[in-house]
Structure 1
Amino acid sequence: MSKGYVLVVDDEPDIRGLVREILEDEGYEVATAESGSEARGLLHARQPDLVLLDIWMPGEDGISLLREWAGGGTPAFPVVMISGHGTVETAVEATRQGAVDFVEKPLSMGKLIATVEQALQQPVTAAAGADGMSAMIEPVGRSTVMRNLREQAERVAASESWVLVTGEPGSGRKCLARYIHHLSPRRGGPLVEVAAGTIAGQSAAEELFGQQRGGRVIPGRLESAAGGTLILDGATDLDGEAQTRLASAIDAGGFQRVGDSQRIPLDVRVIAITRHDLAAEAAAGQFREDLAYSLSVIPMWVPPLREHAEDIPELVSFYVDRLVEAEQLGYRRFTVAAQNRLRNHDWPGNVRELRNLVQRLLVLGDGLDIDVGEVEEALSVVRTGSTEGEWPPALTLDLPLREAREHFERAYLQKQLQRADGSVAQLARLAGMERTHLYRKLRSLGIDPRETGESGGGRA
């Protein structure tokens, strides 16, 4: 019996032949394609259990194919990228867009087999978080405000109404949005998460509605989320063109792919997330009033951590357990005095700041107990600014030029993101960059402005 059906997409015949030979010897069924068009034909005939996809191919590159298969979410099958020398950064970017792993050329037989086996064991999810903790569903906390929030979410989830989730950055807004989806009748459908700032300009129609070119269908965000939920993160970052397109689809109850005459019904629940007052933005002329009404049928507000500090011991325990399990970190426990110190902190970064602090103490500390002195020292580092946040960044002449440039770009964009209060639209203006290019740059540098780490705590 075959161990799985693997599709290999690479323009080099030697690579295709080598990979086929290796995998068939291991008991896999293998098909090969030398181009994107040939891969589409094979995919149409039969869905593979795994795709090995070359990044650099003439005509159509692997990243474009990956985006097409993901359709704004995650491909229906695991994808492992094949990367040539000097393209590791691009391969890492691909993993952020849905690929589960990558292997480098020249191919190592052992590495290839191990990667394929591991990829086939991984479940494919529609909305995985960058920090590996997106499976968290129920917001943590026994305080009155958190109990009320969960009860409200349960009532809201039973309806089909669109929801506007507001609150401070890091407070757990995205966790609440996911929680609502998983409680709703749409939980069997896709959960697609998108940063609103990526839907902009002339490409807004293609991003939202998809397109059809030469018989090839590329679904947009709304179609990818059909039957499920679309989480629109940073809703006020939608530019004017995207606002108009989305408002027209809502008004018509459907849309057409670009280049196609077929009408597709609008079958999606949108949960919008923002830190801003959407009604005030609309009143000031910064946001379409009709779209603001549509997005905020049911408003929900996530409280900052300082307003439910009594939940901190439970949150700390939760994050320790999750981080030990997810990242194989050594277990450590917080003393009562350390927990009390955490309860008295003001937490400007909210739950995300707490989670990062717990992770830092697990990674850098020694010994079983975390005492109040160690907590105080960690909080002091946060107040004065860590090495990652230093400005101006230290000039390191020992690094190769490319790494030194990346070091500066990462520090520069992190600093500008702070100035922009997390708004990608404002960051684009400060940095003088076009938004789509800016998002690619942020992903390549490992900077996530979409707050995928903003889980807020939760129970799977």
Structure 2
Amino acid sequence: MSKPYILVVDDEPDIRQLVSEILADEGYQVDVAQDAAEARRLYARKPPDLALLDIWMPDTDGITLLKEWKREEADDFPVIMMSGHGTVETAVEATRLGAYDFLEKPLSMAKLLLTVERALEASRLQQENIGLKRRLDTWVEPVGRSAVMEQLRQQVRRLAQHDAHAVFSGEPGSGKETFARYLHAHSARHDQPFVDVAVAALTPEHCLAAFFGKEESGEIQAGLLEQAQGGVLFLDEVADLEADTQLRLFGALESGAFQRVGGSAAVPLDVRVIAATRKSLEQEVQAGRFRKDLYYLLNVVSLDIPPLHQHPEDVTELLNFYTDYFVTREKLAFRRFPVAVQNLLRNHPWRGNVRELKNLVQRLLILGNGEEVGLDEVKAALGSGAGPAASPGYALELFNLPLKDARDQFEKAYLEYHLDKHGGSIARLSQAIGIERTHLYRKLHSLDIKFREKG
């Protein structure tokens, strides 16, 4: 495992040299920058695990640079500010913006090393907690007692006893990933990683490195295949996989080994692939957009996940399940769906499938008022899809909350509605609602809105 990578940004040469030498002696990988421009170049090349950042620099001050870095949610890392001319107000501003700590110059090297160690440990624990929360949130048994769902669960449990690759096809939101996780949980690989990949979110220029990892200047960066080693690699919308990656993925799965980008050593591979698609892979092969050899390698077993309108008898159980889910996980007030509402929803076309139903339940619990969900508010919600118009009393409910809680509840319902409307695409969501993409990532994370990038 590679040592943490630390970036030291300071305009004083003596401090850069002293701090970098001490950190290197402690086994850390270290880069130094004399100003913000150089720090930006080094950050673009590789985001650090931790940064030591001077406040006063000749080109751009450290507070401005801190703001830039903290907007990059995907590469969040602890930043320790340093200054010989700092004030209490400056220290407060830095910590408010997300700095881990503030050190005064002249630096105490003992305190610096201790602060670095604690910051890295706190960051590691935070990432582990995020990963654990995601693992706890991700697997649930597919809900439904219909004959269709019972048969499908039985098929998946039988498939789980074997180690063959598989292709799950079905409409968006129908539950392909849920069934993939159900398979994984019942397989011999259940205690190994389940790595889910939103294929459409990977740009062609980064796709190979994302899958196969890379080696650069003696440093190894593990890719998705290594992260899934021993477990399952779930490829969502596999038909969107770019051509070069299709070729190399076939070679890796066929031979049981691969090379990292920039590397020469063979890396052994033991992974099961479950691919999901809304498109017909046979038609994609015929059109020349998907490799025939990769299709046959993956399509050992294929399962069709039916859309919700084909098993409407499961709607009631799904309503109960997601009501309990949001009451338990998000502490929303319990509301009951009476028979008249259930009957209406059983006859709804559910073009967004289970995902649409889940989002509807969440909106009604957040914005509705009263112990029972009313027929009129459901009709309004289904008619407009807008959520807030669903219940005339929702504003009064929000008015009884603290401002921050009311704003967060509304923003969460608003963003989840538009995320679903735009098919889970962060790029289209950003354009539709007029929020910069990096700020949108931070907002989605802060509101605990689950998403996988789809471009």
Cα deviation 1:57-77 (Å, max 9, x = unaligned) = 555439944799xxxxxxxxx
Return closer, same or farther for 1:357/1:38 CA change in 2, 3 Å cut-off.
Answer: farther
Query: 1:208-219 counterparts in 2 under 5 A?
Result: 208-219=211-222
Return closer, same or farther for 1:337/1:94 CA change in 2, 3 Å cut-off.
Answer: farther
Query: 1:233-252 counterparts in 2 under 5 A?
Result: 233-252=236-255
- CA distance, structure 2, for counterparts of residue 152 and residue 225 of structure 1: 24
Query: 1:76-91 counterparts in 2 under 5 A?
Result: 84-85=66-67, 87-91=69-73
Contact map agreement 1:166 1:273 (CA 8 A) in 2: yes
- The aligned residue for residue 380 of structure 1 is 383
- The aligned residue for residue 396 of structure 2 is none
The answer on 1:272 being equivalent to 2:275 is yes
Aligned-pair CA distance for 1:231: 0.6
User: 2:296 is aligned with what amino acid?
Assistant: Y
- The aligned residue for residue 107 of structure 1 is 95
User: 1:233 is aligned with what amino acid?
Assistant: D
The answer on 1:257 being equivalent to 2:260 is yes
- CA distance, structure 1, for counterparts of residue 315 and residue 297 of structure 2: 35
User: 1:354 is aligned with what amino acid?
Assistant: L
TM-score, scaled to structure 2? 0.66
- CA distance, structure 2, for counterparts of residue 314 and residue 374 of structure 1: 20
Pick the aligned partner of 1:335 from 335, 338, 343.
Answer: 338
Q: Larger deviation: 279-288 or 190-199?
A: 190-199
User: 1:219 is aligned with what amino acid?
Assistant: A
- The aligned residue for residue 399 of structure 1 is none
In structure 1, the residue corresponding to 2:139 is in which secondary structure? Answer: coil
Contact map agreement 1:158 1:183 (CA 8 A) in 2: yes
- CA distance, structure 2, for counterparts of residue 213 and residue 62 of structure 1: 15
Structure 1, unpaired ranges of 5+ = 1-6, 14-32, 44-55, 69-81, 389-406, 432-437, 455-460
- The aligned residue for residue 370 of structure 2 is 367
Contact map agreement 1:417 1:424 (CA 8 A) in 2: no
Aligned-pair CA distance for 1:444: 6.4
Q: Larger deviation: 56-65 or 306-315?
A: 56-65
Aligned-pair CA distance for 1:307: 1.2
- CA distance, structure 2, for counterparts of residue 39 and residue 195 of structure 1: 40
Aligned-pair CA distance for 1:260: 2.2
Contact map agreement 1:237 1:424 (CA 8 A) in 2: no
Report the structure number with the largest CA radius of gyration: 2
- The aligned residue for residue 234 of structure 2 is 231
Aligned-pair CA distance for 1:326: 1.7
Cα deviation 1:374-422 (Å, max 9, x = unaligned) = 211111122xx6799xxxxxxxxxxxxxxxxxx9xx99xx79985xx77
- The aligned residue for residue 222 of structure 1 is 225
Return closer, same or farther for 1:199/1:380 CA change in 2, 3 Å cut-off.
Answer: closer
Query: 1:400-419 counterparts in 2 under 5 A?
Result: 418=422
- The aligned residue for residue 358 of structure 1 is 361
User: 2:8 is aligned with what amino acid?
Assistant: D
Q: Structure 1 vs Structure 2: percent identity of aligned residues? A: 36
Q: CA RMSD in A?
A: 4.7
Contact map agreement 1:222 1:230 (CA 8 A) in 2: yes
User: 1:61 is aligned with what amino acid?
Assistant: Y
In structure 2, the residue corresponding to 1:260 is in which secondary structure? Answer: coil
- The aligned residue for residue 184 of structure 2 is 181
Query: 1:42-441 counterparts in 2 under 5 A?
Result: 42=28, 57=39, 60-61=42-43, 64-65=46-47, 84-85=66-67, 87-91=69-73, 93-94=74-75, 106-107=94-95, 120=125, 124=129, 134-382=137-385, 418=422
Aligned length: 361
Return closer, same or farther for 1:199/1:255 CA change in 2, 3 Å cut-off.
Answer: farther
- CA distance, structure 2, for counterparts of residue 246 and residue 40 of structure 1: 39
